[in-house]
Amino acid sequence: MATRAKTTALKAAETPTETRLAIPENTLTELGLDRNTWKVLTESIFPSAKTAEGILLAVRYCQARGLDVLKRPVHVVPMWSRALGREVETVWPGINEVQVTAARTGQYAGIDPARFGPDVTRSFAGRARTEDGWKEVQVELTYPEWAEVTVYRMVNGVRCPFTETVFWEETYSRAGGASSEVPNAMWLRRPRGQLLKCAKAASLRAAFPEEASYTAEEMAGKVIEPEELVVSPDATPLAAEAVTEEPKPQAAGEVDASFRTKVAKLIARAAQSGAWGPADDYVRARFTGEQLTYALAELERAAEASLKAAA
């Protein structure tokens, strides 16, 4: 009986531990991980990660930086890629890791309590990704208009202050990515706490530009490509930097030669960088009526031609 029990235990030990996200054994070996550690990473450290690739990126990031991944110094953050037309899992350090990195320089000299601007109460409405899928959501939230933090660094023996001000509406993460104005669950629950983390990160970057980076709190809900939508009650979204122009929004009217030239220039810039999605957003935000119809048709024609040429 004892021999049989021992044999059963050995077989169980040899049986690979089932994990939420599959990964080849040789990949684990290359990273110096065993199956049980991988299970901890997928189920306890990064439970919200949807792909093995996202967790592998976190492991490699930590190994390159000499960090213990089991202490969760980084986060797997889904970001929307307009170029790919889907979410991509990326890795960013948490605010605690940025502070630890600054402290390791030996020049970190403290931080002052945060200062917050006046409270603002505003309603947010739009499509948002919920546990039950995409839904039309409307919420009312009170949040501080801004926050700022002063970080100190010793420079040539002098304790120098570095202060950055971060505005809530320019910083918060959205439940539906950059195309939605509804805050995500974390920013709804902790409107002051999340802004404080972002203010700390901004001031740490100012004080330690060679060490600090953007954090998971700042990048969640953002777009990977160089683009940011500014949300305010009366403003329309701005398009990607690659295709943005300065002129004021055009009124609905005749599609004249000047307007055709403007659209042609926009298409040329979009074709150069492959920024067809941002160009479409820009057109819809800036034009109406016949001008919008013309611009969208020209964009679609140019994008199709570009895809055929690349095939």
SS3 33: coil
| Cβ neighbours for 210, distance < 8 A, ≥ 6 positions apart | none
At 3 the pLDDT is 52
User: Could you tell me if residue 239 is inside a domain?
Assistant: no
- C-alpha separations of 95 from 10, 48, 99, 193, 205 in Å: 43, 18, 6, 12, 11
pLDDT tens for residues 245-268? Answer: 444 444 445 788 888 888 888 888
User: Could you tell me if residue 36 is inside a domain?
Assistant: yes
Domain boundary among 72, 93, 115: 72
User: Could you tell me if residue 124 is inside a domain?
Assistant: yes
Name beta bridge partners: 249. Answer: none
pLDDT tens for residues 199-228? Answer: 999 999 999 998 877 888 888 777 776 544
pLDDT tens for residues 161-170? Answer: 999 999 999 8
pTM greater than the 0.75 cutoff: no
Query: What is the band of 11 on the pLDDT scale with cuts at 50, 70, 90?
Result: very low
| pLDDT cut 90: percent of the chain above it | 40
Domain, as residue range, for 66: 12-72
Return the residue matching tokens 């820009």.
282
Q: Which amino acid is at 40?
A: V
At 226 the pLDDT is 56
Task: Say if residue 51 is in the same domain as residue 145.
Answer: no
Task: Say if residue 137 is in the same domain as residue 61.
Answer: no
Average pLDDT score over the chain: 80
Domain boundary among 21, 40, 72: 72
**Alpha-carbon span 67 to 86, nearest angstrom:** 30
Pseudo-torsion of CA 304, 307, 308, 311, nearest 10°? -160
At 240 the pLDDT is 38
